[in-house]
Amino acid sequence: MAIQGFLGSVQVGAVPEVVGSAKAWSIDMSTDTTDVTTFADGGWKASCAGIRSWTGSITVVYTAGEDTGEAALIDAFQTGAEVALELLTGAVGSGTAEKFTGQAVITGMPVVNDVNSCLEVQFAYEGAGALTIAALVP
């Protein structure tokens, strides 16, 4: 079953604030690997999983901080403080991967002003610890 993107959302902060100006989010999860190839592997590379990480971005239609969730992202960037992120897919009832939560550091905040569009900001973030992937609790 396809999940419609417009059902998703972004929330930030310990007491979650919805980022109402958000229009897109992305998350990239990865695992480092360590080469553990031995002579016994017969010429095939062997690896073991190492440290995991997650990064991504949140694109907003810029409100200059009028949206309280967007203001929390701007503040986190300016102060360098970690921020709690909750990225929701909108896949309510699927039982898995309905939300991604964790602490993150906002690492970039480019503001794009295009004559043919509304101002946008694409907040880049990097996870600061574990990422939890879970179902929504009704």
Per-residue pLDDT tens over the stretch 47-103: 999 999 999 999 999 998 899 999 999 999 999 999 999 999 987 766 666 899 999
Mean of all residue pLDDT scores within the chain: 92
State the pTM of this model. 0.88
pLDDT of residue 91: 75
% of the chain at pLDDT higher than 70: 93
Domain residue spans of the chain: 5-134
Place of tokens 């906002």: 106
Q: How far is CA 31 from CA 50, 96, 97, 104, in A?
A: 6, 20, 18, 17
Name the class of domain 5-134.
mainly beta
Residues 30-33: contacts with CB under 8 Å, at least 24 apart:
30/54
Query: Do 56 and 22 touch, CB atoms closer than 8 A?
Result: no
Distance CA 32, CA 68 (A): 36
Backbone angles phi, psi at 95, to 5 degrees: 90, -15
pLDDT of residue 23: 95
pLDDT of residue 71: 94
pLDDT at 138 over 80: no
pLDDT of residue 96: 67
pLDDT of residue 15: 85
pLDDT of residue 102: 97
